[in-house]
Chain A
Amino acid sequence: MLLYILRRILYAVPIGIGVTFIVFSLVHIAPGDPISALLPNEATQEMVEAARKEFGLDRPFLVQYAIWLGNAAMGNLGTSIGSGRPVATEVASAVGNTFILAVSAGLVACVLGFLLGIVAGLWRDRPVDHVVNLITIAGVSVPHYWLAILLVIVFAVDLNWLPPLGMGPDRSGGWQFDWAHISHLILPTIATAAIPMAVIARTLRASVVDVLDQDFVTTLRAKGLPRQRLLWHVIRNALPTALAVMGLQLGNMLGGSVLVETVFAWPGTGFLLASAIFQRDLPLLQGTMLVLAMFFVFLNLVVDLVQSATDPRIRRA
């Protein structure tokens, strides 16, 4: 088991390196001289020369990559063109905000998705299943940024129940556990959770149906086990798949947050990324991407390990 964990971690290393390489390449696929992408337009000739030295832009591509990677490992992600502040600082302040949204939306998506999936799978082809199917088809198909706008139209503009923008009453950006803050969280949570919830539900339904079709379920019935015990077996068998899809969807929420945070002006990494794109602030884009992608790699690793811990069939592999 320990060996297995080690191997999974070891396996994640080349993936992580590949990810950093792609992130690094982003600046170089941008049209024009990378130096102009890395510095503000009004940069002086000295600044250009200094940057050329610092980033090793006169050196071969791979050396540049090594220098950049070394800097990134030390926490130096460059300087934001837009704000002039270090990218690391910008990202650090945004990560916490995204985290709040991700946890809240993740909880909603996992719990609802899990319940809907199990119910639909157990009552396959019954009315409940059809209703869940309707909900989840809509869920996987909905453009979440549009859903966000709809929610704002209905609950903020029309009904005036909930605030349309921001993450709190003041613009400070701090988080507190009170209604003023929670009310700001509700709409972004729904918009972020919609697609992952539907994907989790659909995957879990398929998984439950799959489990129910297996021979051992007949054995369980032939043993005279009551329904609730049967349910436990089914859930336990569907669990590895459920965990895997949940982890993956949690990661995908990071991607979806770019759009939802933009709509709600939620000051997280997604919002940061959108403004980086809007201002063509490539160092900021690069830094944010690096942090998010590395987190995703880490998340995948955790999911993998948790999955293998819950599935004895792959424990020895």
Chain B
Amino acid sequence: MNALARIISEGSGAAPSPMLSIAGLNVAYRGGAGWTPVVRGVDLALAPGRSLVLLGESGSGKSVTLRAIIGLLREEGARVDGEVRVGGRDVNAMAPDELLKLRGNEVGFIFQEPMTALDPVFRIGDQIAETIVQHRGTSWRQAMATARELFDLVQIPSAERRLKAYPNELSGGLRQRAMIAMAMSCDPRLLLADEPTTALDATVQIQVLLLLREIQKERGTAMVFVTHDLGVAAEIADEVAVMYAGRIVEQGDAAQVLLNPSHPYTHALTGCVVQGSYRDHRLGELAGAPPDLAQLPPGCSFAPRCARRQEDCRLTDPARRPVAPRHDVACLHAADLPAGTAGGR
């Protein structure tokens, strides 16, 4: 908690109240034998207008954390505790109708696969308009006009025709742009994006990524962006939080974390990035696979795969501590890491 307080106070000098703050978030799903923890004590804070990338591999809990921000998990039967505050109000304590006003209105959400995330039997325009009508109480006609403007914002050509299209009639890139338009339709103060470019081709991915970056900066929207791709993170993040086995293991400024990783996991990840040719070098490897969340090892959950593990790693689960200003790491031996090993080698 004091780490959190520190981040809040340092986050952005002029704006003391964070757009988003998460404290002690725990999420568990019902598994074969009892509850399986998926997110284990996540603390986060994000100032207005900033973008934070949650970086992690499959099963690290990054998407679950994102969904927790608008309280989607409880309805899915998950056990959630901890505090999630958006604009100062605790989401987990909200009444159902308050939650409806938060979602889509104050917080926009973009999903990974626009093909399945859009209703296949409704026209794109209607799906955007219904959000606007719901939150702004405008007429349908006005809402459609707004949708039309949003299509210009996300640079969809032939907007009139595309508004009347069904999702399967659009290409992947256009679908994701429409999804962004929908998320932005009520001019939210916080945007949540769950791997929004992963399903797209490289040349389209960069377009959507830069569009999102531009809109976010122009409108001053705070954004939490989930990805597994270091390159994508480097393009869009002000801050990066690296997740492993349901925990944030490293957090800080994007350049700090990506170029000067202090946690052995982040370090290994940057080392795994495929570069150069096989003729020149062997790829750095991270042995093994993430742990089964239902049967976590004692101590640091990364320890079994860690190249730098020592005896105490199997005993103590490390807390996050600063290694530099605005750079936290949850590792007992973070200080042992050689500094400035950019790129991993």
| CB-contact partner of B131 in A215, A218, A225, under 8 A | A225
C-alpha spacing A222/B91, complex, angstroms: 13
Closest to B179 in A: A219
A225 with B117, Cβ < 8 A, contacts A219-B109, A312-B166, A312-B168 known: no
Contact of A222 with B121 in the complex, beta carbons under 8 Å:
no
| Chain B min CB distance to A224 (Å) | 3
Contact of B104 with A215 in the complex, beta carbons under 8 Å:
no
Contact of B105 with A215 in the complex, beta carbons under 8 Å:
no
Is the C-beta of B122 less than 8 angstroms from some C-beta in chain A?
yes
| CB-contact partner of B120 in A216, A220, A239, A316, under 8 A | A216
How many residues of chain B get a CB closer than 8 Å to chain A's CBs? 28
C-alpha spacing A198/B104, complex, angstroms: 38
Q: Which residues of B contact A221 (CB under 8 A)?
A: 72, 75, 103
Contact of A216 with B116 in the complex, beta carbons under 8 Å:
yes
C-alpha spacing A140/B122, complex, angstroms: 33
Contact of B119 with A237 in the complex, beta carbons under 8 Å:
yes
Q: Which residues of B contact A304 (CB under 8 A)?
A: none
Closest to A214 in B: B116
A237 with B120, Cβ < 8 A, contacts A222-B72, A224-B102 known: yes
| CB-contact partner of B134 in A214, A224, A313, under 8 A | A224
Contact of A223 with B119 in the complex, beta carbons under 8 Å:
no
Is the C-beta of B89 less than 8 angstroms from some C-beta in chain A?
no
Is the C-beta of B100 less than 8 angstroms from some C-beta in chain A?
yes
Is the C-beta of A59 less than 8 angstroms from some C-beta in chain B?
no
Contact of A313 with B120 in the complex, beta carbons under 8 Å:
yes
Is the C-beta of B111 less than 8 angstroms from some C-beta in chain A?
yes
C-alpha spacing A172/B119, complex, angstroms: 54
Contact of B134 with A236 in the complex, beta carbons under 8 Å:
no
Nearest 5 A/B pairs, CB to CB: A224-B103, A224-B104, A223-B104, A222-B109, A215-B116
Contact surface of B with A, Cβ cutoff 8 Å: 70, 72, 75, 99-105, 109, 111, 113, 116-122, 130-131, 134-135, 166, 168-169, 182
Can you identify 21 A-B contacts, CB atoms within 8 angstroms?
A: A216-B120, A219-B111, A219-B117, A221-B75, A222-B111, A223-B103, A223-B182, A224-B131, A225-B104, A226-B134, A233-B119, A233-B122, A236-B122, A237-B119, A239-B121, A240-B121, A310-B121, A312-B121, A312-B166, A312-B168, A313-B120
